[in-house]
Structure 1
Amino acid sequence: MTPERLSRILAAYGSSPERWPGDEREAATRLLAQVPDAQARAREEQALDALLARHRIPAPHAALVGRTLAAFAPVSGLSVLRSWWARLALAGAAIAGIAAGMLTLDVQHGRVANRQMLALSDDQDTIFASLDTGEVTP
Structure 2
Amino acid sequence: MTAELLKLAGSIAAILFIAWLARYWQLGGDVRIRSEEQAREIANDTLPGFDPVKIAIDKAGIAALLRDAGGRHLLIRQHGVQWAGRLLDGHNESRLDQGMLTIGTGERIFGSVTLNLGMQASHWAAGLRHLKT
- More helix as a share of residues: 1
TM over 0.5: no
TM-score w.r.t. the length of structure 2 is 0.27
TM-score w.r.t. the length of structure 1 is 0.26
- More strand as a share of residues: 2
Rg: which structure is higher? 1
* Higher RCO (CA < 8 A, seq sep 6+): 2
